[in-house]
Chains A and B, each alone.
Chain A
């Protein structure tokens, strides 16, 4: 059981500092989660800490590949607006 960082990540370090398991590692082109170390914060926190601070929608996904912060959930930009601007498909891809 582990979360994953995908290539939407902007390498802002926020998750590195808040992970209780030091599971986030600096890498190129983007940070990665060590799946051996990641517990999804179960037992430590009510929310997975990386996903609770990550500013980028879609950058952190669960084992099923589902984003913990889906489009529109952090910025508050309506989905229709994202679709109209052509930003929805790119983010979801």
Chain B
């Protein structure tokens, strides 16, 4: 079945529908071949690669040189998945042992990142020792790091030396007045600086580091945390600025702020963006550059495919019992990688390259529809009740594109798991309410199977459950449902949200 999938025409202006945002075919279509070559098997940069290739982070960088209001350095919870959280801190030697073990066990692991739990460049000795050993012992693994940028300029030479060709900088603002509301302090030249002055220095260093990296041909992705009422409007400006300085991808992520995390924003009840607010901002930023929609905001010790975490299989005590022949593993890895790249190339070739193709049989003025999908390995493969996240796609007469994902699992499975007093485990009904809330804006939810109880409640909330396309490739299924809706005359209505969530 020939299916049009919106790709990203580079030149047309305005809005995500016209440029640079994720479709499953290739959000990178506008990039030069040299960059695409570099990111084609990087799960964090290439949207379609993230279904095939895995990544891991090693937690060798505990120290930090700034404070962000969305971060709390005290937190370590095995059930939580968000940046800055780890279970087990590693010395560089332990980290290298872990990487080799994971790479041998998960041959589709292509990328090793250092992302914390503090800032990699506030721990230069531990970070670069890890990279040095790995480029020696595991030359087939791509290395990358994620930094707040404060000491980036002084480390650019070292980064280039270690053959790190991807760096992520978290840039939440380019205006110090806004920065002062996000960063209470920085450690700079042996002093703790605060307020606007601190933010100004951080911003200068980030921008300088960005320019230095891109001028050396090192790929830079920019992460931004969307904080409603603080930097949400401002991030459009950030997107323009970082694009002008050569960042190749912008990843706007929602603020995570729960009181139980103990962060400033969590305790001060700073609201997080709704999925709709996030998507609207991503669309507006998308007019300016490639936007990333598939980020899962993973832990600083995450292991596996995005959206899954196999870290518990590789704890230090388990590593002690593993016997790794990395030479042999590297051979296997090479074969697996080639095989996956072939599959990926076939998939990419199957989608029209740069043109937006009209969806045959669906009137051009049909309204777009958001659908949530319980996906597993690229197909509608998950039971509704087992889904920890739903991918949200937009179907329109132009085709289908990924808009983001919605987590439905609680970070901690009830407060009891974390040792704090709390209301404990939640009744199933309240979890279903949360899921329905998380899926607001979606008119359909596609899954492999779904129980009677949730079916009725979803329907009552205006979200149509759909188990008819189990095990079909996700985009095929979304388009098929869109065609069904069109045939049933459901797409002529104005684009108002049909479902209202209390």
Q: Which residues of A contact B (CB under 8 A)?
A: 10-14, 16-18, 45-47, 49, 52-53, 55-56, 74-77, 81, 85, 87
Contact = CB atoms under 8 A, between A and B. Distances in A.
A6 to B, nearest CB: 14
A77 B268 contact: yes
B158 to A, nearest CB: 16
Interface centre among A12, A52, A74, A85 (most CB of B within 10 A): A12
10 contacts: A14-B63, A14-B64, A14-B187, A45-B191, A53-B65, A56-B73, A74-B184, A77-B264, A77-B267, A81-B268
A14 B190 contact: no
Contact of A53 (B126, B184, B192, B268): B192
Contact of B67 (A16, A18, A46, A74): A74
A47 B267 contact: no
B4 interface: no
Contacts of B125: 17
A18 B191 CA distance: 11
A12 B63 contact: yes
Nearest to B89: A11
A62 B62 CA distance: 24
Interface residues of B, number: 23
B500 interface: no
B62 A46 contact: no
Contacts, number: 66
A13 B62 CA distance: 6
A76 B64 CA distance: 18
A17 B268 contact: no
Given A52-B190, A52-B191, A53-B192, A75 B123 contact: no
B185 A17 contact: no
B67 A17 contact: no
B73 A12 contact: yes
Nearest to B66: A55
A52 B191 CA distance: 6
A41 to B, nearest CB: 9
Given A14-B63, A45-B190, 16 more contacts: A10-B73, A11-B62, A11-B89, A12-B64, A13-B123, A14-B64, A14-B65, A14-B118, A16-B63, A17-B63, A47-B192, A52-B190, A53-B187, A56-B73, A74-B185, A76-B264
A90 B336 CA distance: 52
B184 A46 contact: no
Contacts of B64: 12, 14, 55
A53 B190 CA distance: 8
B62 A12 contact: yes
B112 interface: no
B184 A76 contact: yes
B123 A46 contact: no
A16 B362 CA distance: 64
Interface string B149-173: 0000000000000000000000000
Interface centre among A10, A55, A77 (most CB of B within 10 A): A55
A46 B191 contact: yes
A17 B122 CA distance: 9
Given A13-B123, A55-B73, A75-B184, A47 B268 contact: no
A37 B359 CA distance: 73
Given A13-B62, A76-B264, A47 B191 contact: yes
Given A17-B63, A55-B64, A81 B190 contact: no
A45 B184 CA distance: 22
A77 B191 CA distance: 21
B318 interface: no
Interface centre among B63, B65, B69, B123 (most CB of A within 10 A): B63
Contacts of B118: 12-14
Interface in B167-211: 184-185, 187, 190-192
Contacts of B122: 14, 17
